[in-house]
Amino acid sequence: MSEDTSNNHPKAGLNPDKKIPLILATGLGIQLSGLVIPGLVIMPIVVFRAAEQAESVMLWAVSASLMICGLVSILQAIRVGRIGAGYILVTGTSGASLAICIAALNEGGTALLAVLMLVLALFQIVFSTQLSLFRRILTPTIMGTVLMLTPVTVMPIIFDQLENVPAGSPPYAAPLSSLITILVIVAMVLKTKGKLRLWAPVIGIILGSAFSGVFGLYDIDRIAKSSWFGFPKMHWPGLDLSFGPAFWGLLPAFLFISIVCTIQTISGSIAVQGVSWPTPRSADFRKTQGAIAADGIGNILSGLFGAIPIGFRPYGTSMIELTGISSRRIGVAYGIVIIALAFFPKGLAMILAIPGPVTAAFITIMMATIFIIGIRIVVQDGIDYRKGVIVGVSFWVGVGFQNGVIFSDYISEHIGPYLNNGMVAGGLTAILLVLFGDLTKPVSSRIEVELALTSLKDIRIFLSTFAKKNGWDEFM
């Protein structure tokens, strides 16, 4: 087959090593960044505003998140040594970490958040080297429960954003803006297909912001006052090395988030390897470990520079399936585009100006998705009455502790700092119940013998003992 004919094949672009034209790579990178940037920027905005941090601190956190996510995405694409996947693995900020990051900022400011982020990153790197060991402990039942509890911890904070509007705004402006945003996103997800469905959140945010602008909720003055180009003003978060009760109370939640982000990256790495070649290939475990290592490095940088956790975003895989092009140049272009946005204050101001009600609507859709993913993980693993009890009890224990309704007087006095987060309380409950079930299971019987006739006597004795132990009669 000639080269020209092969290039016209519908799957000819499915090759990560293919050097596609730079104009095409840049165009697809810009399109990919358009899908990711709203969520990437909104996450740190919600965290630092909810924790009532200074505007300068929030602006630096947003800029740092952009630069770090861009750098990690480039690292994932080009793969340096054993670090990186070598595929289009899009990186963004983690929605699952919103509640615990806000809690860390409220308890100890950016210094406490930075230390917890460093621990999260180091645990993530260790996790990548011991995947087989952790898989025995962190079952789908546990991870599904933790994901289901993520919205429980986040949504009370997000609902507060519904009232985050300028003074003197009409009372109906906030609810209508939220409603328009949700209706547009949900309608597009349910009724559109292909590329248009990918753009549903972005279009919902744009239309919701435009509608809110009619009532003066969209901060146009911020955009007008912002310069076109500039270097973000750095804010050093510091490191809180006192390791007080706040650190130990939040540590389990950050470790859970580390595991959640790692599992998402594992799933994303396997998925992108599956769609990046013309014919299906088995996943390369070394590339998956490299993807986790790159995320770990990104989270170390996030800790040092005062940002929030980062993680895999599925848009790259979707774009490969839609366009039939998997060149890693697209991942590099995406990374460069979002890094450049950190030095484009006016473009950043357009996102920072999005009002709280629109942000809350967007996060609500995202949290609903995370909740369903948690349910899917539990169900796909196969659910019986034992797993049903573990998930049900753990979930409602998490809800109870999150809302402070389980022995609140005793809990708040003795172990409140450690279990006032629903994700921690529910996750630990799930782990304890799973371990209890494993430890109380009947011990399995096994025998290993040499493959020879002389071993028949040992086999008969083993079978006889096994039969008596299980109450089998002579007929059995």
What confidence tens digit (pLDDT) does each residue in 227-274 have? 787 777 777 777 888 888 888 888 888 887 887 788 778 777 777 777
Average the pLDDT over each of 80-94, 353-367, 457-471 and give the range with the smallest value.
457-471
HEC profile of 152-171: HHHHHHHHHHHHCCCCCCCC
Question: Nearest CA to 380 among 134, 144, 138, 151?
Answer: 144
Residue 389 pLDDT > 50, yes or no? Answer: yes
Q: How far is CA 257 from CA 97, 120, 148, 254, in A?
A: 6, 8, 13, 5
* Sign of torsion over alpha carbons 399, 400, 401, 403: positive
More reliable by pLDDT, 249 or 470: 249
pLDDT for 202 beyond 60:
yes
Q: What is the pLDDT of the chain when averaged over all its residues?
A: 79
31-35, 42-46, 269-273 — most confident range: 42-46
Secondary structure of residue 201 in the 3-state scheme: helix
CA atoms within 13 A on the CB side of 407: 8
Q: What are phi and psi of 331, to 5 degrees?
A: -60, -40
Please check whether residue 58 is in contact with residue 49, taking contact to mean a CB–CB distance below 8 angstroms. yes
* Distance from C-alpha of 62 to C-alpha of 342, rounded to nearest angstrom: 8
Phi and psi at 122, nearest 5°, equal -65, -40
| 8 A C-beta contact, residue 87 and residue 326 | yes
In 3D space, the residue among 315, 270, 260 whose CA is nearest the CA of residue 290 turns out to be: 270
Write the pLDDT tens digit of every residue in 105-121.
888 888 899 999 999 99
Within 10 Å of residue 376's Cβ, how many Cβ atoms?
13
User: Tokens 């519904």 — which residue?
Assistant: 162
The reported pLDDT for the residue numbered 4 is: 42
Alpha helices in 353-440 (DSSP H): 356-380, 385-402, 408-414, 416-419, 422-439
Query: Residue 318 is which amino acid?
Result: S
Better-predicted residue by pLDDT, 49 or 348: 49
> What's the rounded Cα separation, in Å, for the pair 250 and 104?
7
Q: What is the pLDDT of residues 263-305, one digit of tens each?
A: 778 777 777 777 777 777 776 778 888 888 888 889 999 888 8
> Among the listed ranges 48-62, 99-113, 201-215, 437-451, which one has the minimum average pLDDT value?
437-451
Residue boundaries of the structural domains of the chain: 8-388
Kindly report, residue by residue over 134-153, the tens digit of the pLDDT: 666 667 787 788 778 878 77
**Rounded to whole angstroms, how far apart are CA atoms 473 and 100?**
58
More confident residue, 443 or 393: 393
Residue 162 half-sphere exposure toward CB, CA atoms < 13 A: 16
> β-pairing, 310-312 with 91-93?
antiparallel
| Contact criterion met (CB below 8 Å) for 254 and 119 | yes
Residue with tokens 């594992």: 266
b/e map 423-455, b = 16+ CB within 10 Å: bbbbbbbbbebbeeeeeeeeeeeeeeeeeeeee
Contact 153, 318 (CB under 8 A): no
- Residue 115's pLDDT is what? 92
Decide if pLDDT at 474 tops 70.
no
Is residue 2 pLDDT above 50, yes or no?
no
Residue with tokens 């972005």: 202
Return the structure tokens found at 121. Answer: 């990153």
- Percent of the chain's residues with pLDDT above 70: 87
Highest mean pLDDT among 5-19, 235-249, 329-343: 329-343
Top-confidence range, 32-46, 67-81, 433-447:
67-81
CB-based contact 433:137 (threshold 8 Å)? no
pLDDT tens per residue across span 401-456 = 877 777 666 665 555 555 666 777 888 888 888 888 777 776 666 777 777 777 77
